[in-house]
Amino acid sequence: MTLSLREIVGSRFSHLTVISAYRDEKSRIKCLTQCDCGRQKECFYTNLKAGRTRSCGHLEREYRESCIEMTGQQFGELTVLGKTMHRKEGCIVWQCRCSCGEEIYVSRRQLIRGYVTACPHHKLKQLIGQRFNELIVLKFSENGEEVFCRCSCGKQLWVGKGNLLRGHTKSCGHLALADNLPRVDGVVTCALRRKMPKNNTSGVTGISQTRDGRWAAYLTFKGTRHSLGLFDDKEEAVRQRKNAERKYFEPYLQKEQSQKDAS
C-alpha cells in the first residue's frame, strides 16, 4: 500500500518532527523536519524511519564536545594540540605535532591503537646528517624514495633510500674504482672474460630460452644490457652473441694485450 504523505506530517522521530513531506524526481519521500533545538532539517523519510537521522546535527556536535579530552597527550612522537571538527572512520580527527616539528591530522582510533605514532617524514628526517659508509644524507625527495647525499670525495648525488639503508650503495662510485682491478679506458677487462654463471641453462653465456621455445641473445656492457634479438635456431643466437662480443669486447681486450706487450 502506498504511503500517504499526509500520514507522515506530524510524525516524530527521536528529536525531529515532520513539518511537511513530498516526493522527489525519483519518487523518494523527503521530509522537512523541526528539531527540538529549533533548527529545521531536510532529510529522507527512510533515514528517519531507520533511525539513521535523529536530529539536525546537534547530537553529533554535543557528542564531539563531550568526548575525552586528548589535548597535550603524547602518542609516540606525536603531541596532541587539539581536536578539529573533522571526522574519520567515525572518530574525531585531532591536530598533532611530531617531534620533528611537522603537524599532521590523526583520528582518535589511529592514536589510541598506535596506528600512527609519527609524521610520514619523521624517519626520513632522522636520516639527515647520518653517515652511511662514504655517504652523508643531506635531504630527501618529496615521495621519500630517494635521498640526496654527499660522498666523502665531495661529489653529491641522489641515491635510492632502500639501496642506501641496505648497504647496496656505499659511495658515489669511487670505491668501485679503487678496487685495483685492471681497467682499459674505465672498463674492467677481467669482467669481459667472466665465467659462465652457475644458473645458466643454455650452456652459453648471454643465451637463454624463452617460454615459447625461442632463443634470446643479449650482452651487458658498461652497465647497459643490449638485446640482440630472438631466434628460432640456437646456433644463430650464439653467432649473434659472438658478433656482439667482437664488437664490444675485442677492442678493449686487444688494447689490454697491447699494453701488456709494451710493458
Q: Indicate if the pLDDT at residue 31 is higher than 90.
A: yes
Number of separate helices (H) and strands (E) present in the chain = 10, 17
pTM check: above 0.75: no
46-67 pLDDT, tens digit per residue, is: 999 988 888 888 776 665 555 6
The model's pLDDT over 110-166, given as tens digits with 9 standing for 90+, comes to: 888 888 999 888 888 888 899 998 899 999 888 888 889 998 888 898 988 888 888
Least confident of 86-90, 173-177, 201-205: 173-177
pLDDT confidence tier of residue 216, bands split at 50, 70 and 90: very high
Task: Give the number of other CB atoms < 10 A from CB of residue 250.
Answer: 11
**Does the structure show a pLDDT above 90 at 239?**
yes
Nearest to 12 by CA among 43, 62, 54, 52: 54
Residue with C-alpha cell 580527527?
A: 93
Return the ∠ at Cα 236 (arms to 231 and 240), rounded to 5°: 95
CA dist list (Å): 224 to 180, 181, 227: 23, 20, 10
- Report in angstroms the alpha-carbon separations of 84 from 29, 95, 110, 201: 34, 7, 15, 63
Average pLDDT, the chain: 86
The pLDDT of residue 180? 64
Look at 239 and 153; give whichever has higher pLDDT.
239
What would be the CATH architecture of the domain defined by 183-262?
2-Layer Sandwich (3.30)
pLDDT for the residue numbered 176: 64
Indicate the domain borders of the chain: 5-61, 68-120, 123-176, 183-262
